[in-house]
Amino acid sequence: MDFKIGHAITEDLETIKELNLDFLKEHNNRFEKRFRINKENEKRITRYLKECISAKNMLVARSDRGIIGCLTVTDEKHPLELCHKLAYIASIYVKPQFRNKGVGKVLLSKAIGQASDRRYEQVSLRVATKNDSAVTLYENVGFRTKFLEMECDTKKNACEFTEKLLKSFFKLFRGCPAIQLQ
């Protein structure tokens, strides 16, 4: 399959926006309902993509059928990462009919090369742990798991945590004359 990798241009914005929305919808359907897709967030996505395109942080894969994939690489914004420059792959998406044809691998390789040209020492990314095909792709390109990022549902866990804390508190202070629990 013939395709070329290059920087996105302003005229690509609507197509890239649609690809990003497809990515978010697919992620929500396959892994977890994480992304809220509404008009306000679509506006935010559009602003973000415009910035990425103007900063040459957006790569696209083009074939004779148009844009078939895109990748965004940006600066890692972490206040404690002062010892080296770290690039971050914020998103990568390849249309389903073009997957397993080398498009993602070439997009990633090009992004890593671009990061190296810009004097970044490392490139990082996030991936859903259940996204086996993406994990395999990233490992084949040279990514390795260095950290495990974990999350908890604050609404569910806050109630459980409060309940456990109160039980511990009651056990600890049971029979203490200075504290009268009602």
Range 4-149 has CATH code 3.40.630.30: yes
DSSP per-residue letters across 134-168: HHHHHHHHT-----------HHHHHHHHHHHHHHH
Closest CA to 16 of 120, 95, 115, 103: 95
* pTM assigned to the model: 0.78
| Structure tokens given for 171 | 């056990």
pLDDT in tens, the chain (182 residues): 899 999 999 999 999 999 999 988 887 777 666 667 788 888 999 999 999 999 999 999 999 999 999 999 988 665 555 556 889 999 999 999 999 999 999 999 999 999 999 998 899 998 888 889 999 999 999 999 988 777 777 776 655 656 665 566 556 555 544 444 44
Question: Could you tell me the residue ranges of all domains in the chain?
Answer: 4-149, 152-182
